[in-house]
Structure 1
Amino acid sequence: MIPAAESLRPLPLKTQQGNGESVRTVVEENAVIVIGRRGCCMCHVVKRLLLGLGVNPAVLEIDEEKEEEVLSELEKIGVEGGRETVELPAVYVGGRLFGGLDRVMATHISGELVPILKEVGALWL
């Protein structure tokens, strides 16, 4: 059995010095992605909830020195009706900003989260 922490899919991030993927590409190519600061406890809670539901979310952990650059890019993508402030942890579902921990928890408690995840192909059952 693979421990839950090993089943998460950490992603490389393209920076001016490195060879990863761009933030936009990572968000658009994953049904569900959790973006947060490295070691953030709220990010951990979101990841555990999604894993508990059977979703294997992509995870992008941001180092402090790259946070401003990544947040600036995130505010440009996946937001309906213009710019919106993105706070970490940020959960993108189907290439669009879904929200943070509070939105994920509220949607889960109301029973609306699983149908949304099925709609974007993150869950099959």
Structure 2
Amino acid sequence: METIRSLVAERPVVIFSRSNCCMSHTIKALISGYGANPTVYELDQMPNGQQIERALRQLGCHPSVPAVFIGEEFVGGDKQVMSLQVKNQLPALLKRAGAIWV
């Protein structure tokens, strides 16, 4: 858990992903489409990726990717982010976190 906290610290948007996950790609594209520049960690390309993935599951991520943090707070996975998008709450959340300005 401490590893995750240090990776998301002081970054407006962090996405834990796998390079071959289509939903991770979709969420990255959605958030980037607002002009945000998320920090992306591809767990399948990190030496400690499996350890981080276990910690994400402990946080309640099922499946473990994509896992999205906005403003250092765990938002959830693809379903939660898409729900925020449908409710038109995602832009305000990104703005509050300092990820976008307009």
TM-score by length of 2: 0.82
- The Cα shift of 1:63 comes to 1.5
Higher relative contact order, structure no. (Cα contacts within 8 Å, ≥ 6 residues apart): 2
- Contact 1:24/1:73, CA 8 A, preserved across alignment: no
Q: CA RMSD in A?
A: 1.9
In structure 2, the partner of 1:51 is 32
Report which of the two structures shows the higher radius of gyration computed on alpha carbons: 1
- Contact 2:43/2:53, CA 8 A, preserved across alignment: no
Structure 2's unaligned 5+ residue stretches are none
Which structure has greater helix proportion?
Answer: 2
Structure 1 runs (4+) greater than 3 angstroms displaced: 64-68, 72-75
In structure 1, the partner of 2:78 is 101
Query: What is the identity percentage for the equivalent residue pairs of Structure 1 and Structure 2?
Result: 34
- What is the SS of the residue equivalent to 1:91? strand
Matches within 5 A, 1:1-125: 22-63=3-44, 66-74=48-56, 84-86=59-61, 87-125=64-102
- Contact 1:91/1:97, CA 8 A, preserved across alignment: yes
